[in-house]
């Protein structure tokens, strides 16, 4: 009953192991104000020749490990300039030296590189017939078990063979764009969902333009704060509005940055302890617009929060909060197109069963129906998705993961009706992938897991993680998998008669 299906799975020899040498620069927090003052006080008396020698030694030791370490020193000096009486009177070299003492290297994948997701690359130029270029996301985990998002690229050959491009020499931690704009109506709806909309929020929003920046918001909060007739409670509302703005941000990708050099490192407060398990979707809207979405889990050490990454070509990336009654728990996966005018998403609201959500707004989710419950012994503990559904002629192919005895994670598949995805056509009674003997040992043993696959020329390309330690790629003939599912799995009944539960929170401003 716990055996693997007879579908042929070809595991590729390529494996991604963590590379300790892939490092970024971070601001080095040495302690409170007293320690900051003490450190600066030790550097300031140095004469210019001493400063020049020390700075050059630092460049000699670290400059070839980073694309532009001088900018990092300059930026980190800016963080502590408030502790100096006359910062502008300090020489540039001494400013850079001070900045170097407040800079540290961080190895982004020293602990693990796992949970991959794959989509077609936005640039397919130069590909031969039956070849395709791809971009893959992975979860990189470093010191302190903080996770970030990294990428790899490569191509799929005509026989299903996968070739990876060598990663770029440097890594580039993306910085936020402080000039981003917010749409007032969406901001209002998000405050409603947070139960943070109040008279104070109404006054502040009423006086902001339809599109505003973080600077506009800060100015208006400061202005309203000084009024004698300001609504109360003020500070709590102001803090909530600022938190929401900081949680929705744009990331600047430097020109000519290779995707393999991009590192999306935790930026906002709600993701301070990690960005986990991105599920990439190559989404084509009804008008033909191509957008890459990536659902992920933000973690701040106490609670998780579903978030959404959005980009058109990986040169400009936006991060948004997901909102709505049914935005709960981990593992959301967006369908690659609208169905009957609606966005659809697979989720696991209760941590045990799979749900299907739908919405007319990709940021708000207030309708859901239970889609699938654990049915077979290999998934009795819980069931979830292994990435966005893949459209085939026979239905939506949804890779799933199930947890069985001894917390063993295996990969299976379901087939959903193309026009009514709440209807399950088939589900694999046995897993199609189980941890192999050489894959079962790792940080979390007995796990094979994926955050997204793709189909190319009848080949199902499945990047997968092994025991939360390393990653590889497997290929399966799509026709063989669909044939197996048709023959071995009867029509599955709907857990909730296919009727969506609706929660209306779209209050008008």
Is residue 509 over pLDDT 60? no
Beta strands in 433-506 (DSSP E): 448-449, 454-456, 459-466, 470-477, 501-502
pLDDT band at 503 (very low <50, low <70, confident <90, very high): low
Work out the average pLDDT over 175-191.
87
Instruction: Quote the pLDDT of residue 1.
Output: 57
Instruction: Quote the pLDDT of residue 304.
Output: 84
Query: Cβ(424)–Cβ(415) under 8 Å?
Result: yes
Using the Cα atoms of residue 330, residue 333, residue 339 and residue 342 in order, give the sign of their dihedral: positive
Burial 462-500 (b: 16+ CB within 10 A, else e): bbbbbbbbbbbbbbbbbeebbebbeeebeebebbbebeb
Under DSSP, is residue 109 helix (H, G, I), strand (E, B) or coil? coil
Instruction: Quote the pLDDT of residue 159.
Output: 87
Pairing of strands 454-456, 147-156: unpaired
Is residue 81 over pLDDT 80? yes
Mean pLDDT of the chain: 93
Token pair, residue 459, equals: 């080949």
Is residue 56 over pLDDT 90? yes
Instruction: Quote the pLDDT of residue 398.
Output: 99
Measured CA to CA, the distance from residue 432 to residue 11 in angstroms comes to 12
Is residue 506 over pLDDT 50? no
Helix (H) or strand (E) holding 139: strand 132-141
The lowest-confidence range among 89-93, 323-327, 487-491 is 487-491
Give the Cα-Cα-Cα angle 3, 7, 12 (nearest 5 degrees): 105
pLDDT band at 504 (very low <50, low <70, confident <90, very high): low
Token pair, residue 352, equals: 């045990």
Q: How far is CA 427 from CA 70, 219, 349, 387, in A?
A: 55, 55, 20, 16
Give the Cα-Cα-Cα angle 439, 441, 446 (nearest 5 degrees): 75
Work out the average pLDDT over 191-197.
87
Instruction: Quote the pLDDT of residue 82.
Output: 95
pLDDT band at 498 (very low <50, low <70, confident <90, very high): low
Is residue 16 over pLDDT 90? no
Residue whose C-alpha is closest to residue 40's, from 2, 74, 87, 3:
87
Q: How far is CA 448 from CA 128, 228, 367, 410, 427, in A?
A: 32, 60, 31, 6, 18
Work out the average pLDDT over 130-155.
96
Instruction: Quote the pLDDT of residue 490.
Output: 59
Neighbours of 224 (CB within 10 A): 18
User: Is the model more confident about 30 or about 390?
Assistant: 390
Residues above pLDDT 70, as percent of the chain: 95
Query: Cβ(25)–Cβ(103) under 8 Å?
Result: yes
Instruction: Quote the pLDDT of residue 344.
Output: 99
For 216-257, the pLDDT digits (tens) are 999 999 999 999 888 888 999 999 998 889 888 999 898 889
**C-alpha 39: how far from chain center:** 37
């Amino acid at each position: 009953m716990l055996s693997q299906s007879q579908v042929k799975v070809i595991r590729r020899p390529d494996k991604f192991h963590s590379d300790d040498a892939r490092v970024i620069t971070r601001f080095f927090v040495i302690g409170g104000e007293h320690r900051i003052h003490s450190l600066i006080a030790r550097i300031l008396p140095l004469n210019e020749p001493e400063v020049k020698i020390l700075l050059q030694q630092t460049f000699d030791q670290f400059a070839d490990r980073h694309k532009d370490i001088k900018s990092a020193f300059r930026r980190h000096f800016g963080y502590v300039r408030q502790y100096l009486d006359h910062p502008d009177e300090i020489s540039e070299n001494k400013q850079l030296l001070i900045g170097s003492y407040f800079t540290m290297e961080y190895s982004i994948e020293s602990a693990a590189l796992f949970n991959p997701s794959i989509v077609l690359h936005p640039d397919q130029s130069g590909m031969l017939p039956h070849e395709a270029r791809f971009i893959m996301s992975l979860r990189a985990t470093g010191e302190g078990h903080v996770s970030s998002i990294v990428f790899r690229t490569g191509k799929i050959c005509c026989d299903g063979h996968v070739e990876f491009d060598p990663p770029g020499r440097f890594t580039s931690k993306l910085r936020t764009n402080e000039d981003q704009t917010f749409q007032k109506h969406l901001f209002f709806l998000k405050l409603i969902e947070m139960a943070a909309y109040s008279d104070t929020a109404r006054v502040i929003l009423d006086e902001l333009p339809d599109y505003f920046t973080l600077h506009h918001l800060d100015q208006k909060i400061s202005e309203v704060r000084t009024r004698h007739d300001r609504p109360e409670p003020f500070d709590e509302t102001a803090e909530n509005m600022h938190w929401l703005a900081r949680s929705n941000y744009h990331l600047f990708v430097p020109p000519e940055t290779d995707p393999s050099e991009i590192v999306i490192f935790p930026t906002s407060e709600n993701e301070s302890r990690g960005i986990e398990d991105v599920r990439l979707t190559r989404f084509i809207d009804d008008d033909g617009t191509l957008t890459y979405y990536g659902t992920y889990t933000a973690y701040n050490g106490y609670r998780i929060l579903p978030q959404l990454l959005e980009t058109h070509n990986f040169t400009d990336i936006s991060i948004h909060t997901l909102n709505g009654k049914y935005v709960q728990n981990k593992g959301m996966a967006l369908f690659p197109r609208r169905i009957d005018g609606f966005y659809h998403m697979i989720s696991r609201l209760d941590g045990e069963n799979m749900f299907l959500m739908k919405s007319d707004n990709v940021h708000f989710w207030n309708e859901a129906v239970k889609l699938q419950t654990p049915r077979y012994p290999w998934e009795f503990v819980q069931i979830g998705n292994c990435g966005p559904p893949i459209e085939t002629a026979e239905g939506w192919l949804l890779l799933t993961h199930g947890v069985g005895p001894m917390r063993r994670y295996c990969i299976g598949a379901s087939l959903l009706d193309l026009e009514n995805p709440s209807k399950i056509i088939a589900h694999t009674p046995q897993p199609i992938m189980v941890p192999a003997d050489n894959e079962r040992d790792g940080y979390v043993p007995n796990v094979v897991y994926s955050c997204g696959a793709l189909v190319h020329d009848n080949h199902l390309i499945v990047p997968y993680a092994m025991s939360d330690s390393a990653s590889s790629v497997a290929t399966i003939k799509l026709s063989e998998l669909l044939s197996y599912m048709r023959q071995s799995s009867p029509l599955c009944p709907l857990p909730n008669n296919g009727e969506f539960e609706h929660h209306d929170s779209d209050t008008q401003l």
